[in-house]
Amino acid sequence: MNLQFKLMNFENKQVFDDQIPNFEEVDFQSVNIRYKKVLLLISILEFLILVSVATVVVFFNPDIELAQKPFLFYPIALIWFIFRLMIINQRYKSKGYAFRQKDVLYKSGIIFREVAVVPYKRIQHCRNTEGFIQRFFSLSTLYIYSAGGNALTIPGLDREDAVQFKLYIIEQTTNE
């Protein structure tokens, strides 16, 4: 078996700081404003489930005296609920996405900020999902799966926009 290798001109030039694109210059689009309502409804449901479970545990536990029962868990749950309500606006504002020529960007996080970049070349699959609450508000979540096995999740997209973004990504990945 005779193999011939063709020599290629391989270049790997250094990139300087002034040539690296800056993510702060990207104009991120906010997720849909209705996503705030989804966050609010989820917080209310979490609170109700938490209080219900605590009520069942506290009132059916014979080791806890009746006088202490209401003071055990409810103030903590109420403080947690108030905290969740206070940060809904920050949670909403922290999320943003951008579609560029060669990649998709998504930013999130209040305390720990993150910007994820997925080049179209690396995308293998994408899908839209709608949970019960999202469906009620005509919202969808776009999942973008890369070749490395990671998924980029963009929640709070308008249903029609999510479908258009998915079609755009499919078009870009087939053109690469």
**The domain that contains 167 carries what CATH number?**
2.30.29.30
Domain that holds residue 59: 35-89
Q: Which of 47, 41, 71 is nearest to 58 (CA)?
A: 71
**3-class SS at 14?**
coil
Instruction: State whether 49 and 119 are in the same domain.
Output: no
74-129 pLDDT, tens digit each: 788 888 899 999 999 999 999 999 999 889 999 999 999 999 999 999 999 999 99
Question: What is residue 167's predicted lDDT score, i.e. its pLDDT?
Answer: 94
Residues in contact with 36: Cβ distance below 8 Å, sequence separation at least 6, in sequence order: 88, 89, 92
Structural domain ending residue among the three candidates 56, 89, 122: 89
What's the structural domain count of the chain? 2
pTM of the complete model: 0.78
What average pLDDT does range 34-60 have in this prediction? 87
Greater confidence, 44 or 174?
A: 44
| Average of per-residue pLDDT values in the chain | 85
Is position 7 within any domain? no
* pLDDT given at position 129: 95
Is 141 part of a structural domain of the chain?
Answer: yes
Task: For residues 36-46, give the mean pLDDT.
Answer: 94
Is 11 domain-assigned? no
pLDDT value, residue 76: 81
30 occurs within a structural domain: no
Beta strands in 22-135 (DSSP E): 29-30, 96-99, 103-108, 114-119, 123-129
Kindly state whether residues 42 and 104 are assigned to the same domain: no
Within a domain: residue 116? yes
122 lies in some domain = yes
Joined tokens for residue 115? 């910007």
Phi, psi of 137 (to 5 degrees): -100, 10
Last residue of a domain, one of 89, 122, 155: 89
